[in-house]
């Protein structure tokens, strides 16, 4: 637990990776359970309150870089007695607004230390031991939450409701040239897209809501063709939602006409990979 120049304290925690002896949930072979920010909410790192979480599965990491996406950064400010998780993961941790330059440099030194490398190795071992203990079921689409509304349709509806607020926050951040907040919002759009896309593997009345959310997030992320595909599916499955369909089609038409296509993280990364070939 390093004490930073300002008096703040910082920890790394593998608490998001369930204990290996936690065997109340089965898992696919080679995967493990971990706690993640719930993609059905619009909560962003740094927002007040406890981060909303859900349980998810992932492949056992094979490197320190991979496991760093499951390691929490826990902070106690100089005037705080108790530490808390602000929603930050080691792999994507950015300098907090309340960190001085000296604090940030000390944090980076800690992250690159031998102590941290050993910690990450132990985290990989924890993932593997948990996977070995729980790989008893071929599991698809099962994602329990820590809130009172775990149903897929309910979570999709709440995610769709959070979209407008996230879009508003990104617009304000773009006007204020706050690139950090823009990036955080886009990461939530990415998480929502992934969550909705996974639910399409299951049959049920939720599929219309999934296409609704996918159309909205694809539009926000600049994937026009994908958005058109999902808005057509949504209009077929949910014909009474004409206002949403008409509004989204109008937005997509303006985007195509003006050529102002926004590239979110998912598209940017694919374009960057294509440019490297």
Q: What is the CATH number of the domain that holds 263?
A: 1.25.40
Query: What would the pLDDT profile of 65-109 be if each residue is shown by its tens digit?
Result: 999 999 999 999 888 888 889 889 999 898 888 899 999 999 999
Q: Is it the case that residue 249 has pLDDT exceeding 50?
A: yes
Residues 105 and 166 placed together within one structural domain of the fold? no
Handedness of CA 178, 179, 185, 189 (dihedral sign): positive
Q: What is the pLDDT of residue 241?
A: 73
Give the number of other Cβ atoms within 10 Å of residue 28's Cβ.
16
Dihedral of the alpha carbons of 120, 122, 125, 129, in degrees to the nearest 10: -130
Contact 65, 73 (CB under 8 A): no
Q: Match 């590239």 to its residue by tokens.
A: 263
Task: Please indicate, yes or no, if residue 4 is contained in any of the structural domains.
Answer: no
Lowest mean pLDDT among 128-132, 181-185, 236-240, 245-249: 245-249
Residues 212 and 164 placed together within one structural domain of the fold? yes
Helix (H), strand (E), coil (C) string for 145-179:
ECCCCCCHHHHHHHHHHHHHHHHHHHHHHHHCCCH
Q: H-helix or E-strand containing 22?
A: none
Domain carrying residue 95:
9-134
Task: Please indicate, yes or no, if residue 244 is contained in any of the structural domains.
Answer: yes
Residues 47 and 115 placed together within one structural domain of the fold? yes
Domains in the chain, number: 2
Non-local CB neighbours of 227 within 8 Å, separated by 6+ positions: 214, 215, 216, 218, 219, 248, 252
Task: Please indicate, yes or no, if residue 214 is contained in any of the structural domains.
Answer: yes
Out of 134, 160, 178, pick the residue that ends a domain.
134
Q: What pTM was computed for the model?
A: 0.70
Task: Please indicate, yes or no, if residue 183 is contained in any of the structural domains.
Answer: yes
Angle (deg, nearest 10), helices 114-134 and 101-111: 60
How far is Cα 124 from Cα 116, in angstroms, rounded to an integer? 12
Q: What is the pLDDT of residue 137?
A: 54
Task: Please indicate, yes or no, if residue 139 is contained in any of the structural domains.
Answer: no
Residues 156 and 272 placed together within one structural domain of the fold? yes
How far is Cα 9 from Cα 105, in angstroms, rounded to an integer? 13
Among 192, 143, 194, smallest CA distance to 165 is for 192
Residues 97 and 178 placed together within one structural domain of the fold? no
Residues 13 and 130 placed together within one structural domain of the fold? yes
Task: Please indicate, yes or no, if residue 142 is contained in any of the structural domains.
Answer: no
Q: What is the pLDDT of residue 149?
A: 47
């Amino acid at each position: 637990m390093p004490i930073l120049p300002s008096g703040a304290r910082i920890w790394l925690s593998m608490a998001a990776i369930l204990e290996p002896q936690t065997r109340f949930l089965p898992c696919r072979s080679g995967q493990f359970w971990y706690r993640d920010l719930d993609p059905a909410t619009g909560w962003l790192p740094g927002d007040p309150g406890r981060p909303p979480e859900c349980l998810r599965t992932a492949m056992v990491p094979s490197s320190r870089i991979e496991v760093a996406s499951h390691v929490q950064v826990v902070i106690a400010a100089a005037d705080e007695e108790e530490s808390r998780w602000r929603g930050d993961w080691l792999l994507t941790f950015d300098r907090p607004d309340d960190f001085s330059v000296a604090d940030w440099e000390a944090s980076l030194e800690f992250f690159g230390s031998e102590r941290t490398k050993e910690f990450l190795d132990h985290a990989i071992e924890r993932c593997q031991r948990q996977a070995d203990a729980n790989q008893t079921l071929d599991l698809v689409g099962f994602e329990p939450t820590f809130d009172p509304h775990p149903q897929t349709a309910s979570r999709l509806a709440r995610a769709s409701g959070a979209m407008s607020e996230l879009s508003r926050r990104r617009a304000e951040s773009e006007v204020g040239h706050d690139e950090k907040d823009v990036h955080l919002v886009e990461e939530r759009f990415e998480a929502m897209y992934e969550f909705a896309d996974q639910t399409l593997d299951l049959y049920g009345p939720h599929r219309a809501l999934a296409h609704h959310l996918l159309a909205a997030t694809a539009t926000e992320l600049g994937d026009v063709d994908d958005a058109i595909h999902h808005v057509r599916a949504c209009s077929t499955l949910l014909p009474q939602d004409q206002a949403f369909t008409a509004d989204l089609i109008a937005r997509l038409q303006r985007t195509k006409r003006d050529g102002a296509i926004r590239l979110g993280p998912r598209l940017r990364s694919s374009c960057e990979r294509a440019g490297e070939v």
